[in-house]
Structure 1
Amino acid sequence: MGNFEFISKIFIRENHALDIGAYDYGYKHCLNEGFSGRVMFINSSVSGPHSDGWLDKYEELFLSHSQIGLSGTTTNTSPAKDAGVSTQEHVQSWLLYSDMSILKDCFGDSLLSNASYKTKLDVIENGEIYISQKILNKGYGINCMAFPKLHFFKGDSWPYPFKFRWRGRDKSLQQFINTTIV
C-alpha cells in the first residue's frame, strides 16, 4: 500500500454508527479471522502520530495495571446529554486500545448495542459511553494518555474537577491535561 507497508487490506463499508460502527466492523473481522491479540481502533479525525514509539506507549499504558480493559487518548465523565444524567466515565472514542479477550468477555459478537446511532450524541452515548460502561461493569478499568497515572474502576471517585462543557467555562482546568495525542 505505497508508503504504508503495514497496511495489507482496506475495507469499504456503509457509514453506519460513525467511528463506533467502523470499530465494530473491525472487531467482527478480527473475530472472524480468529485474531486473539491486542487491537487499536482510531478515528479518522485523529492527527498523528507525532512521535516515535507511539504504539509502544499505548501498550505500556494498557499494561500499567493488570485489570485495565480499555485505554485511549482521553477520558471523560460527562453524559452525552446534559439533562440531569449522572456522570458516565468513559474513554473517548478517538482512539480505543484493548485486547480481543477482554472485548469478547464484555461484548460477545458485537460492540454495538441495540440503540440508535443516528446523531453524534447517539454515537457518544450508545457507542463510546456504552463501550466503557460495559467494560467497567465487568470489573475492568479504563485509562488514557491524558491522565496516564489514573486507573479508573467502577465505584472509584473521579479525581479531576471536570464538569459538563468545562473547556468553555473554566480555563484553569487546562492544567490537568498534559497530552491528548502521542
Structure 2
Amino acid sequence: MTIATHKLTLPPSMLQRGFWLYAWRVVAPDGQELVYVGRTGDNSSPNASPAYIRMGQHLGSAETQNALRKHLVKRGIPPETCQTFDLVAHGPIYPEVEKPENFSHEDKLLRKQLMEKHLPLRDIVGAMEKQLAEDLKAVGYTLLNTVIWRHTVDPELWAPVRAAFAEHFPRLKD
C-alpha cells in the first residue's frame, strides 16, 4: 500500500434528497472501461436518498447495498485495484416525497399514503434507469449490471436525460 493524498470534490447539489439516475464509469486495472447504472428511490419505502449516499454504499461493505463492489468482485476485480471510479449523477429528477417531521414507518396509513405518491416517481426513474443501461450497452459500453424494469420510458421525459448522460458518455451522441 502506498500512502497518498487524494481530493474528492462534491458539488453541494449532490446532497439533495430525491430521485437520481446515475452511472459509474470504472476503469479496471487492465484499462477496461466498465459501467454500472443505478437510481435512487427505494422500492420498499418512501425514501429517495441523495446520490452521494449511494456513492459510498456502492463501494462499502454492507451486503445489501454494495452492488457495484459485488459486480466487480464477481469479475475477479478487487475494487481497490481499479484505476478510477467516475460517478455521473443526474438529478434530482424528482424531489423525495415530503414526509411530516414526526413520520414513523410504524404509521401504516401515512406510510401507505406516502408510497402512493412515491411509487409513480420511482417507476418513471426506474424506466429511465433501464433505458440508460440499454442505450449504453447498444453503443458498445460494457455494463456490469442488467437493469430489469417492467415500465417503459416516456420518450419526451427521456430525451433531455439521455442528452445529459451523452455529455459524459460520448458514444450516446450518435
Fold-level similarity (TM above 0.5): no
TM, length-normalised to structure 1: 0.27
TM, length-normalised to structure 2: 0.28
Please tell me whether Structure 1 or Structure 2 has the larger radius of gyration of its CA atoms.
2
Higher helix share: 2
